[in-house]
Amino acid sequence: MGNPKAFLTIHRQEAGYRTINDRIHDFSEVEQTLNANDRKVQASRCMDCGVPFCHWACPLGNKPPEWNDALYKGDWESAYRLLNSTNDFPEFTGRVCPALCEKSCVLNLTEHEPVTNRENEAAIAEMAFKENYVKIREIPRNGRKVAVIGSGPSGLSVSNRLNMYGYDVTVFDKNESAGGLLRFGIPNFKLNKALIDRRLDIMEQEGIKFRYNSKVEVDNLPEGFDAYVIATGTPDARDLNVPGRELKGVYFALELLSQQNRLLAGVRFDEDELVNCKGKDVLIIGGGDTGSDCIGTAHRQGCKSVTQIEIMPKPPVGPEDPANPWPSWPRILKTTSSHEEGCVRRWDMNTNRFLGENGKLSGVEVESVSWKPNPDGGRPLMVKSGKPEIIKADIVFLAMGFLRPKHSVYPSNVFVTGDSANGSSLVVRAMASGHDTAKAVDNFLRSSDGAGKE
C-alpha cells in the first residue's frame, strides 16, 4: 500500500465524458482519460483492505489492491503483469465493465467515492501497449486441437487461455470478423473497434487461427478436433408479439446497433436496408443498457426525439438501495452518457400495440401499469391502469433482453461457455466463464490421455 493516508485526503476523480455538444456528432469514445500523474494519484487512494471486497466482486478475480499499489509507485509494467495475470483483455473491461469491484470498494461504503478501478485498468492496459509491455509469447505446443465456436469475449478468452496452455486453437465465427457483441453490439462510442483488432493481431501472431463467415451447426461440429467449445452467445432477442409487430419501422435493437457498427467499419448497405433515425421520433422499448446504446446511436444519427419506456417500476435513485446493501451490486437507477445526451424516460409502461398507416409505423399505444405482490411468491402481478395513451413514433427498437439458449446433451469433449451457457450477462462474466471453461477443457484433455498443460 503506497500512501496509507491518501484515501483520507484525496477525492475520487473521474476522467469524465467529452462535452455533449462535442461527442453527439461522432461515434468516437465518449470517455476521456486522466494524465499519468493524476492516474497515479487516484491509484494511491486504494487502502489495500485486509478483506478486499473488490477482488471478491470481480468475476475474473482481479486484484485491484495489488495493481493499484504498483500504479501508485509508477511501476506500470508490474501493474500490467498483475492485471494481466487474471484479466486477458483489460482494454475491454477497462472501458465497458460496470465495475462491480467499485460498488464493493470499502470507500464506496460510507463516502460513495470508490477507487477508480475501471479507469485505472484501462490506463494500465493502454500504457502497456504504448510501452510494449504486451509481448508476443513463444508457446510450446502439446499437439492437441480445440475448436472454439464463437469469437465474443467468452470465445476469445477461452481461446487465449487454451492457446497459452499449448493447444492448437481454431476459432469459427459466422460473422465477417471477431469480437461478438464487443464488435457488433456495443457502440463505438463506448468501445473503439481498433482495440479489438489490436488484440486479435496479437492472438493471431501467437498462433490462434480465425475462420470467419463460418457458421457452425452445434450438432454437426467440424471434424479433426480433440475438444470443442460452444461460445455462441444469445442469438435470439426477446420479441414483443402485440398487434402491429409486422409494421415497417419496428426493429430489434441489434438491427440498429450492429448495422451502425458495420457502417463505421466501411460496410455498405442498400438504401432500403438502412435502419436510420434521422429526423425521426424514436421509441425504445426496454429500459436497460441495450436500450441506452440505442439512445446514443439515435442521437448520433440525428433523430428528432427519443423516448425510452420500461415495463418495470423506476429503480430507487442511488447512491444505494437499502434493500440490497453494500457490498452487493446496487440495483439503483442508472443514468448513462447516452441518457445525459437527452431522452424522455418512463417506467411502469406496458406496450399494447403498434399503430401504423399503409404498413408503416406511426405510433405506439402504451398503458401505465402498477405491480402488486404475487400471492404465490413469484414475479409481481401487473395491473393495467385502463388509461391507454399514444406515443408518436416513426421508429421503434425492441431492447427487452435475449432468450437463454437451449442446449442438448453433448458428448463429453464438447463444452459450453459465456452467455450461451449462462444467459445474457456482461463482458467480464463472459470472460470469466471462458477462463473456467479453458481449465475444464485442459483438465478433460489431460485426464483423457495425459496430454495437455504441463
Binding mask 417-436 for ligand FAD (x = CB under 6 A): -xxx---xxxxx-x------
Contacts of 206 (CB under 8 A, 6+ apart): 136, 137, 139, 163
Q: Which stretch binds ligand SF4 (CB under 6 A): 97-105, 125-133, 261-269, 380-388?
A: 97-105
Is residue 232 within the footprint of ligand FAD (CB under 6 A)? yes
Complex with ligand SF4: residue 101 or 395, whichever CB lies closer? 101
> Read out DSSP for 169-211?
EEEE-SSSSS-THHHHTS-TTTS-THHHHHHHHHHHHTT-EEE
Bridge partners, 31 (sequence order): 17
Q: Which stretch binds ligand FAD (CB under 6 A): 129-137, 225-233, 315-323, 381-389?
A: 225-233
Element (H, E) at 415: strand 414-416
290 binds, among ligand FAD, ligand SF4, none (CB under 5 to 8 A by kind): ligand FAD
Complex with ligand SF4: residue 97 or 156, whichever CB lies closer? 97
Is residue 216 within the footprint of ligand SF4 (CB under 6 A)? no
Q: Are 69 and 81 in contact (CB under 8 A)?
A: no
Is residue 180 within the footprint of ligand FAD (CB under 6 A)? yes
Is residue 303 within the footprint of ligand FAD (CB under 6 A)? no
- Nearest-approach distance from CB 63 to ligand SF4, in angstroms: 8
Q: Output the CA–CA distances (angstroms, integers) from residue 345 to 154, 184, 219, 342, 349, in the order listed.
A: 32, 25, 43, 9, 10
Which residue type is seen at 253? A
Q: Measure the CA–CA gap between 88 and 78, rounded to whole angstroms.
A: 15
Q: Output the CA–CA distances (angstroms, integers) from residue 382 to 35, 125, 213, 334, 386, in the order listed.
A: 50, 46, 44, 23, 12
Is residue 95 within the footprint of ligand SF4 (CB under 6 A)? no
The residue written with cell numbers 504504448 in the block is: 130
Q: Measure the CA–CA gap between 297 and 302, rounded to whole angstroms.
A: 9
293 binds, among ligand FAD, ligand SF4, none (CB under 5 to 8 A by kind): ligand FAD
Applying CB under 6 A, among 173, 281, 341, 394 the residue interacting with ligand FAD is: 173
The C-alpha cell at 395 is 421508429
By CB under 6 A, the count of residues binding ligand FAD is 38
- Nearest-approach distance from CB 69 to ligand FAD, in angstroms: 26
Maximum C-alpha span of the chain: 69
- Nearest-approach distance from CB 450 to ligand SF4, in angstroms: 35
Is residue 226 within the footprint of ligand FAD (CB under 6 A)? no
Applying CB under 6 A, among 87, 108, 117, 154 the residue interacting with ligand FAD is: 154
The C-alpha cell at 136 is 508476443
Element (H, E) at 307: strand 305-309
Residues that bind ligand FAD (CB under 6 A): 96-97, 149-155, 172-175, 180-182, 185-186, 190, 215-216, 231-233, 235, 257, 289-290, 293, 418-420, 424-428, 430
